[in-house]
Structure 1
Amino acid sequence: MYNRARGWLASLDWTHYGIIASIYLIWRIGEGGGWSTACWMLLLICLLGVRTDQIDVDWKRFFVFGLPLLYLFYYFYGSGNSLWWNIANWMFENNRHPWTWDDAMNSIPLNNAAWMRIYNSPALDQAMVWVYNYGFVLSLWLCIVRSFWTRSIKKMLSYALSGHVLQFPLILPFYNLIMLREVWFVKGQRDLLGRVFTSENELLTNVMNCFPSMHTSISFAMLLLALREKDRIFKYMMVTYCSLIIISTMYLQIHWVLDVFAGMAFAYGTVKLADLLIRICSDRLPEWLKGYYNKKQKKKYPDTTMVA
């Protein structure tokens, strides 16, 4: 009975099942994020040249590690939003902000980025709102999903660590110490994002954490890592998309110019920290684990090529 079950399991095409499970999980990620058609099209464009960056790892062995890791990211993505707002509400209710920078930031010439709206239109406003609303997580998911299809656990971890995994805990001290509200609120303008706040407390909680800009830090970290890839389509797409996310934060009068520069510096430091952590952990992995993951797939059929 045991040998029969073992033979049946060995006869199954686990690579095929792994691909189906992967597609389903990625679909769930998109559904959970409310991805629009444009989001899915952006992902497809990013995947066009994925073979250029694929590493030589057996699909079945990769799925053993890659699928649980992708699900882990999906799980934390689903629970992370509520955790973030619980922390934001706690900071607001406890008023742990020894420094308030609204007036100081508003007094710096050109810092409010009003020059970004020298040219504006309803259509451009709508496009920038789309970029901003999805940019906080979509820029990260594009990179993680693509790195999954390159069969690289290292890249998946690099993007995740450089993104929300490290940035959330590292940015909290800034948001806990510095009260800096969004540009439109300080200047008494309308919210170009068109958000509806049910109470004054909800409004103040949403607009109080600006320094550094986390929209900028997430997207700039993804941009820096994307530049390491070989595929030009992916690099150009991510440079364009991530740059638009950063521009949208100023065009929509949300972040101050100094917030953006601080976010870029913060992203650079986070990427370097992620590189260091991955290098340290890679050196300490047991040899049997490295051997299992890197073992090449056996050919199903012998090589019958005639040699002259």
Structure 2
Amino acid sequence: MTKLKLNELMKSMDWTMFGIIASIFLIWQIGTVGNWSTECWILLCICLLGVRKDQIDVDWKRFFLIGIPLLGVFYYFYGSGNGFWWKIANWMFENNRHPWRWDSYMNAIPLNSGGWARWISTPFLDRAMVWVYNYGFVLSLWICIVRSFWTRSVKKMLSYALSGHMLQFPLILPFYNLILLHEVWYVNKQPDLLHRVFADENSLLVAVMNCFPSMHTSISFAMLLLALREKDRIFKYMMVMYCGAIIFSTLYLQIHWVIDVIAGMLFAYGTVKLTDFLIRIGASHVVPAKFKRFYSKRAAPASSELTM
């Protein structure tokens, strides 16, 4: 009798609503850990306005069983990834494994310093570009992952995540281990427009190396390439403007060289294509047929389903 009542109770619960609440809480935690400003949340909300145009026909409850744990995994690596990255950067600095040193070569190329990007500069634009740059490394990725979550597409979530930090981090390390290139302002003995505070000289040197290719550029450009595949025009236009601003900020703030930016775009294009290949192979040969049948079951009628 008790078991029967328990089954009835479980069936009577609105698991879709529980999934929505859990998802919102997890996304809020992501923003909290990232110390998102009000502007970050506004940008995310604007990008979500037309999400229904890209939603796929999958039952919410079935999606939440996969989507929420997957989002949680991304959140875990996001929280631990920054410390891991700086450990690698410090290791490379201490071991000094840079057979190629490009500061003088890059500085000798006309217009390569990107100083032309500051032909029009104002205090307001300075503050705006600092905000764009400081958040751009992760916010561009999280906006796309969160939005793909609300489209109920595990494939899109994986596509954005793999094209972003998950593949770019390991693939870019050989460049950073072989090539020593410092930030533009440091090479040209200019003020740091990001106004960073460094504990000592070693901390400064670790922070200003590893420029080629520009990973701010590669992350944002990869997100832009994938965003252009979506149907919603609001999202596409916002990502064009935001990701374009991230790339421009690297030049405006005298962080990256023009060649770094071009290399970052090419690197991003290659990463997106590699991700497409891996997902295609995984969907064909790795994902079990039972999982495909479970996940691809169509959503319930609109009257009983929550739409975003």
Aligned to 1:290: 292
8 Å CA contact retained: 2:59, 2:300:
no
Q: Distance in 1 between the 2:188 and 2:283 partners?
A: 49
Q: Distance in 2 between the 1:247 and 1:108 partners?
A: 19
Amino acid at match of 2:35: G
Q: Distance in 1 between the 2:303 and 2:27 partners?
A: 33
Aligned to 2:52: 51
Q: 3-state DSSP class of the match of 1:181?
A: coil
Q: Does 1:71 align with 2:37?
A: no
Displacement of 1:5 after TM fit?
1.4
8 Å CA contact retained: 2:214, 2:256:
yes
8 Å CA contact retained: 2:181, 2:212:
yes
Structure 1 length normalisation: TM-score?
0.96
Q: Relative to structure 1, is the Cα distance of residues 42 and 299 closer, same or farther in structure 2, using a 3 angstrom cutoff?
A: closer
Aligned to 1:305: none
Displacement of 1:294 after TM fit?
1.1
Q: Distance in 1 between the 2:3 and 2:264 partners?
A: 57
**What are the Cα deviations for residues 42-61 of structure 1, in whole angstroms up to 9, with x where unaligned?**
00000000000000000000
Fraction of identical pairs, as percent: 71
Q: Distance in 1 between the 2:301 and 2:52 partners?
A: 20
Q: Distance in 2 between the 1:233 and 1:298 partners?
A: 27
Q: Distance in 2 between the 1:210 and 1:196 partners?
A: 19
Displacement of 1:278 after TM fit?
0.4
Q: 3-state DSSP class of the match of 1:271?
A: helix
Q: Which aligned pairs between 1:4-43 and structure 2 lie closer than 5 A? A: 4-43=5-44
Q: Distance in 1 between the 2:89 and 2:158 partners?
A: 26
**What are the Cα deviations for residues 101-133 of structure 1, in whole angstroms up to 9, with x where unaligned?**
000000000000111111111111000000000
Displacement of 1:11 after TM fit?
1.1
Q: Which aligned pairs between 1:129-148 and structure 2 lie closer than 5 A? A: 129-148=130-149
Q: Which aligned pairs between 1:1-308 and structure 2 lie closer than 5 A? A: 1-284=2-285, 285-298=287-300
**What are the Cα deviations for residues 189-236 of structure 1, in whole angstroms up to 9, with x where unaligned?**
000000000100000000011000000000000000000000000000
**What are the Cα deviations for residues 163-211 of structure 1, in whole angstroms up to 9, with x where unaligned?**
0000000000000000000000000000000000010000000001100
Q: Distance in 1 between the 2:72 and 2:275 partners?
A: 20
- Provide structure 2 residue ranges, at least 5 long, that are not aligned to the other structure: none
8 Å CA contact retained: 2:224, 2:239:
yes
Displacement of 1:8 after TM fit?
1.2
Structure 2 length normalisation: TM-score?
0.96
**RMSD, aligned CA:** 1.2
Q: Distance in 1 between the 2:213 and 2:297 partners?
A: 43
Displacement of 1:299 after TM fit?
5.2
Q: Distance in 1 between the 2:300 and 2:153 partners?
A: 20
Q: Distance in 1 between the 2:303 and 2:79 partners?
A: 44
Q: Relative to structure 1, is the Cα distance of residues 259 and 3 closer, same or farther in structure 2, using a 3 angstrom cutoff?
A: same
Q: Give the total of aligned pairs.
A: 302
- Provide structure 1 residue ranges, at least 5 long, that are not aligned to the other structure: 303-308
Q: 3-state DSSP class of the match of 2:298?
A: coil
Q: Distance in 2 between the 1:49 and 1:194 partners?
A: 37
8 Å CA contact retained: 2:98, 2:177:
yes
Displacement of 1:3 after TM fit?
2.4
Q: Distance in 1 between the 2:267 and 2:155 partners?
A: 22
Amino acid at match of 1:66: G
Amino acid at match of 1:211: F
